[in-house]
Amino acid sequence: MGEEHVGRIRFMDQQRVNLDGFAHEDAGLGLIAMNAPEDPEPSIRIEDGRVVEMDGTAEADFDSLDALIARHGIDVTVAEEAMGLDDVELARLFVDWSVPRAEIVRLCAGTTPAKLARVVALLRPAELTLAMTKMRARRTPSNQAHVTNRLDDPLLLAADAATAAAFGFREIETTVPVLADAPSNAVAVTIGASIGSPGILVQCSVEEAMELEMGIRGLVSYAETVSLYGTEDVFVDGDDTPYSKAVLAAAYASRGVKMRVSSGAGAEVLMGGAANRSMLYLESRCVSLARALGVQGVQNGGIDGASVAGAVPRGVRELMAENVMVMARNLEACTGNDALMSESDVRRTSRTLPILLAGSDYVCSGFGSIQRYDNMFGPSQWNAEDIDDWLAMQRDWGVDGGLRTADPDEIGRLRREAAEACRDVYRYLGLADFDDDHVERAVDAVGSKDLGDPDPMVVLTAAQTVRSSGLGSLEVAKALQECGYDDAATRLLQMLEARVHGDHLQTAAIFDEQMQVLSLVTDPNDYAGPGTGYEPSPERQREIDMIRQAKGVEDLRHDQAEYATDTLKPVGEAEQGSDPREVVIGVSPGVGRNVWRTLSGLTVIEVLDELLAGLEEEGCTARIVRVNRTLDLGMVGLTAARLSGSGIGIGLQGKGTALIHRRDLPPLANLELYSMAPIVTRDLYRVLGTNAGRHAKGATPVPARNPYTDEAIEARYHTSVISLVALEREHVSRAVAPEELEVVR
C-alpha cells in the first residue's frame, strides 16, 4: 500500500466521473477509437465493373461482409475518382457548405470502408458538428423514445407511450424483460401512442425472428434491432450473416414495415473479436454493409458499446464520426445517445451536446422517456429524469432536439385516456381484465414501482393470446373503435393505411402530426450555410421556447397577491424622530402594496416581526417607514437612518435584502448587509434587529454573517428578482415623501 493521497486528490477521487472506467489505448484488444496500426490501407481495384480488391484484400479472400459490400455496396462508376481523392481533400468537402450534400453522397458511394473511416477521422469536433448539420438526410430533426417497464405492465406502457407522444417523440421503441410478453407490449404501446398523437411509429425490440413475426403481423410499424457487426466472426456469434440480414431487410419491407439496422463501436471489443482494428474502421464496415444491404437507415454511435468507446481517448469523437459516415452514405442516422455512457452528468452532456446542436434524423436512438429503473434496455443516456433538462437545452440554444413541453393537465388527461383505452381494449379482446385501482395507479405512476404488485401471469397470458390468435393492428383498431376511442382508432387505421402507401419506407421517414411523411424524399436537408437548412417554424419555435417553468411579471404579481394582508396601514407622512433609542425600519415602495413575500418564503410581516423583536430585546423603540422615492436598498436604509432619532436605520427591500445604515454614511456604504435574500432565515433577521439596536446604543456588535450556499442561487431567483423590481418600480414616486406604516394585528 502506498501512502494515502492528500485531501485534494481524495476529494477528486470521490467525484462521480471516477466511477467511469477509463482504459489505456490497446489496439490488440480493439480499445482504440480511430486509425489503428492494423486498419487496412484504403484500396480498390475494379475489373470489368467488378470490385476485385478492396482495402488490401483480394476477392478470393473476401469474407462475407467484404463480399456483400464489394458486390452491392460500392458504386464502381465513381470508385476510382473517390478513392483517388486525397483524404484531406475529401474531408474538407464535408464542411464546405458551397459543396452540396449530394456531391459528397455521390463520392462516398464509391469509397471503401477503410477510406471513409480515414476521412471522417480527420474531422475535428466542430467540423463533425457542421458535417452533421449539412449531411443528415432529413431536414427536420426528431427524436425516439424508449417506453418500457420492469413489469411489462400494459396500462403503464400505454400511459407512458401517450406521454412520450405528448412530449414530441415521433418513434417509440419498447422491449421486454420477459421475451414472451413481447406481443402484449407491442399492443399496449400501439394503443398508448394512438391516444397520444397521430403518426407515431412503434417497434418492439426482441430477438430477430420474433420481431419479424410481429412486424409481419402488423403489431409494430418499424424495426431496428437488426444488428450488424464489423467482423464475420462476431456476426456468426450473433447467429446471423450479412446475407441473412439482407433477407430480413427485404422481409420487413415486403410487409410495409420500416426498418433500420443497429451497429456501433464497442460491440466487437466486448465480444473479444475486434481483430486489432479500430472501432471506427469496424463501424465503417457496418455502415458500408448497411448501404449494401439496401436498408434505409442505421442506428449507431456506439449503442450498447458506447461506454467502451467512452473509455478510450477520442472515443466520444469516434461515436459522432460513426453517425456522420451513415449520413455520408445517404442513410437515415439514428445517432446513439442511447445507452448511458457515463455516471457523470457533465460527461454525458458533453457526449450528446454537439449532436443536439447539429440536429439529427433522431438525436437519440432511444431517449428513455421512462425512469432509469424502468428502462429494460438499461438506463439511457437521457431519461425521464432529464426531460426538463433537454427542453431547457433546446431553449438555451434555440435548437430542435425533437421534444416539446407538454401541458401538465394534458399529460394527466392523456395518461388516463391511454390507461383506460388499454384496459378496455384488453377486456374487449379477451386478453386481460384490469380493475379501476390498477388504472388509477397507472395514470399517476411515475414508474412501475408505483403500481403495487400486479400478477405477472396476466401479462404473459395476454401476450400468448395475442400470439396464438394471430391478432394484428387492424383488430386493435377495431377494438378501440368498439370501446369508444374513435380518434385513436382512426389514427391507428391511418398508420395501417400508410403501410399500404409505403412512403415511409424511404430514407429517414417519420410522420408529422398531420400524417405527412417527412423523409429524404419529401423533406430533404438543404443546408448550405447560414440562412439555409432547417429552421423551426414559428409555431415550433414557440414550443421550444415556452417551457412550462417560464414565468413573467404577471405570474409573480399573482403569487404575491396571494400573500396580501391588511397588516400594514399608512398613517401619514413620516416625521423626523428625536428619541436616541429609536431605530427606523425603512421598507421599499412595493411593500404592503403589491409585494408581500420575500424570496426566502418569509412574508415581509414575518421579517418585520423579527427585526422589531430584535430591537425590543435591545430596549430600542422602532418605527416603520415606507420609502417612496427610490427602491435602491442603500437609499431606503439611509432615508430610514436620517428619519431615526438614533441615526441608525434598517433598510428592507420587499425581496428580503436588508442592511443597517447610519445617517452620516454615504448611500452605498452601510454597517451590515444581508445580500443573499433567498436564504436569510428568521434567526438572522432577529440578529440584524439586535445589532441595529446595539449600533443605536453606540456599541460595536459582532457583524451578522451572510449565510453561505453552494447552490446556483442566482439562477434560481434572478427571474423573480427582475419581476419583483418591476413590481416595486410601479410604486416609485419622486413626489411622494416617506410615509409611516402601522402594523395592524
Partner 1 sequence: MTRAFSGRDSAELTPDRLALDELDADDVRIHPDTLEAQAQVAEANHNPQLAANLRRAAELALVPEAKVLALYDALRPHRSTAAELEALAASLDSTPAPLTAALVREAAAVYERRGLLA
Rounded to 5 degrees, what angle do the CA atoms 365, 371, 375 make? 55
| 1, 457, 500, 712: residue in contact with partner 1 (rule CB under 8 A) | 500
Q: Of 289 and 357, which CB lies nearer to partner 1 in the complex structure?
A: 289
Nearest in space to 620 (alpha carbons), one of 670, 672, 695: 695
> Does residue 516 interact with partner 1 by CB under 8 A?
no
- Contact call for residues 688 and 658 (beta carbons, < 8 A): yes
Q: Which three cell numbers stand for residue 641?
A: 437612518
> Does residue 330 interact with partner 1 by CB under 8 A?
yes
- For the beta sheet containing 144-146, the strands, ordered from the edge strand earlier in sequence to the opposite edge, are 201-205, 171-175, 144-146, 367-368
Q: Of 68 and 463, which CB lies nearer to partner 1 in the complex structure?
A: 68
> Does residue 374 interact with partner 1 by CB under 8 A?
no
Q: How far is the CB of 553 from partner 1 (least distance, A)?
A: 48
Q: How far is the CB of 521 from partner 1 (least distance, A)?
A: 6
> Does residue 501 interact with partner 1 by CB under 8 A?
yes
Interface with partner 1: number of residues (CB under 8 A): 69
Q: How far is the CB of 116 from partner 1 (least distance, A)?
A: 15
- Contact call for residues 465 and 431 (beta carbons, < 8 A): yes
Task: Pick the stretch among 64-72, 198-206, 277-285, 705-713 that binds partner 1 (CB under 8 A).
Answer: 64-72
| 36, 54, 68, 462: residue in contact with partner 1 (rule CB under 8 A) | 68
Q: Is 558 a catalytic residue?
A: no
> Does residue 326 interact with partner 1 by CB under 8 A?
no
Q: Of 221 and 383, which CB lies nearer to partner 1 in the complex structure?
A: 221
Q: Of 207 and 455, which CB lies nearer to partner 1 in the complex structure?
A: 207
Give the footprint of partner 1 on residues 89-128 (CB under 8 A).
Answer: 102, 105-106, 109
Q: Of 95 and 520, which CB lies nearer to partner 1 in the complex structure?
A: 520
Q: 146, 661, 695, 731: which one is catalytic?
A: 146
> Does residue 461 interact with partner 1 by CB under 8 A?
no
Task: Pick the stretch among 254-262, 274-282, 385-393, 729-737 that binds partner 1 (CB under 8 A).
Answer: 254-262
Q: How far is the CB of 727 from partner 1 (least distance, A)?
A: 53
Helices (H), 562-669: 604-617, 633-643
Contact residues for 558 (Cβ-Cβ < 8 A; gap 6+):
none
> Rounded to whole angstroms, how far apart are CA atoms 623 and 612?
9
Q: Is 653 a catalytic residue?
A: no
Separation of first and last alpha carbons in the chain: 69
Task: Pick the stretch among 83-91, 167-175, 240-248, 278-286 that binds partner 1 (CB under 8 A).
Answer: 240-248
Q: What backbone phi and psi angles, to 5 degrees, belong to 416? A: -65, -45
x-or-dash string of contact with partner 1, 470-499, rule CB under 8 A: --xxx--xx--x----x--xx--x--xx-x
Query: Can you state the angle between helices 87-95 and 101-108, rounded to 10 degrees?
Result: 150
The DSSP letter of residue 60 is G
Task: Pick the stretch among 333-341, 375-383, 466-474, 706-714 that binds partner 1 (CB under 8 A).
Answer: 466-474
Q: How far is the CB of 79 from partner 1 (least distance, A)?
A: 14
> Does residue 721 interact with partner 1 by CB under 8 A?
no
> Does residue 559 interact with partner 1 by CB under 8 A?
no
> Rounded to whole angstroms, how far apart are CA atoms 160 and 451?
13
Helices (H), 256-386: 267-270, 279-293, 306-310, 315-328, 345-358
Rounded to 5 degrees, what angle do the CA atoms 387, 389, 391 make? 70
Task: Quickly tell me which residue has 446604543 as its cell.
Answer: 697
- Radius of gyration from C-alpha coordinates of the chain: 33
Secondary structure E strands in 350-477: 367-368
> Does residue 247 interact with partner 1 by CB under 8 A?
yes
> Rounded to whole angstroms, how far apart are CA atoms 653 and 536?
42
- Contact call for residues 11 and 5 (beta carbons, < 8 A): no
> Rounded to whole angstroms, how far apart are CA atoms 369 and 253?
28
* β-pair type (658-662, 171-175): unpaired
Catalytic machinery residues: 144, 146, 173, 224, 299, 338, 365
List residues near partner 1 by CB under 8 A. 62-64, 67-68, 71-73, 75, 102, 105-106, 109, 208-209, 212-213, 216-218, 232, 235-236, 239-241, 243-244, 246-256, 291-296, 330-331, 472-474, 477-478, 481, 486, 489-490, 493, 496-497, 499-503, 505-507, 520-521
